[in-house]
Amino acid sequence: MRIALTYNEKRSAAEAHAEFDTREAIATLAAIVAGCGHEVVPIDVSGSIPQLVERLQRLTPALVLNLAEGEHGNFREAFYPALFEQLGLAHTGSSAGTLALCLDKALAKRVVAAAGVRVPREAQTTPAVVKPNFEGSSKGVTLVPRGGSIAAAVNAARARYPAGVIVEELVEGIDVAVAWFAGLGQLPAIAMRYPGAIYDYALKHVTPELVELEIPARLPATTRRRLCTAASRAFAALGVTTYGRADFRVTPDGDAVFLEMNPLPSLTHAKGHDELYLAAARAGWSPAELIGSILSPSAPRRPSRSHLWRRQRASA
């Protein structure tokens, strides 16, 4: 297939670009895709939308491998999939609606809770966690220690993230992520062990060397089953297709508490950002097989109307 690899280029170390991809990372991913036998054309979507549309019309890809995070607004991750859907282009990952839902942490938690999965309660007392409602990559996640001021932390967070913040109880336990890929199923659970009480922005982006990845997570069999069930319910409730990653806090007594869903997790294959590939390797899957599962014609995705689009262009 001819595949358009869409992404936002990481041009600085600023927080706003934390989820973007470097040219080197995209080149590595493009090489994996090419190794699967496809023609791949990387496209940085940042900037002019009309120019992007024109380029896609010229390229007429059979599939868009979408990594674009978007730049503005509460539902920025949903913008490019929505655009592709309007253009009649099949794309990897979940629908625009699912991406919009998952970026709204409060709404996503309500949906998952309705599916029978435990979520953190709203905190009235400390210790508590304050976080932006419409951000990812641990941006703005702040621990309010016992005796601290929740109001002060909320005011500080709102000043930086005016779209809204949420306040949650601090759930004791360890952070565990469960990735799922259509055709492969759930990958081995990934535990993040680190100093301190929460996996914040500094640990993820400034001092990642302090984080120990444990794959598969060392958990009792009963806890693993609970985690697997909770993850399956979360993926289904939120409508995640093709692939995604669900983040949990696993308590000392074995409960899996849903924190958030990332329907657009990084596919970067570089040291410090390759936990999905490490998890796949533990299950016996190579990088090519992992990416191939996303590109497979049998992978569930939004229906393509590209044949109609091409016919309309030909008759124009």
**Are residues 288 and 187 part of one domain?**
yes
**Are residues 188 and 137 part of one domain?**
no
Q: CATH code at 133?
A: 3.30.1490
Please tell me the total count of domains within the chain: 3
In this prediction, the residues of the chain whose per-residue pLDDT falls under 50 are 302-316
What pLDDT does 306 receive?
37
**Are residues 274 and 186 part of one domain?**
yes
What pLDDT does 297 receive?
76
**Are residues 187 and 276 part of one domain?**
yes
pLDDT digits over 25-58, tens only? 999 999 999 999 999 999 999 989 999 999 999 9
pTM greater than the 0.85 cutoff: yes
The domain of 166 spans 121-170
**Are residues 228 and 128 part of one domain?**
no
What pLDDT does 305 receive?
39
What pLDDT does 296 receive?
85
CB 287 within 8 A of CB 32: yes
What pLDDT does 17 receive?
78
**Are residues 253 and 197 part of one domain?**
yes
**Are residues 129 and 202 part of one domain?**
no
What pLDDT does 248 receive?
98
Domain-located, residue 82:
yes
pLDDT digits over 164-195, tens only? 999 999 999 999 999 999 989 999 999 999 99
**Are residues 222 and 149 part of one domain?**
no
**Are residues 274 and 241 part of one domain?**
yes
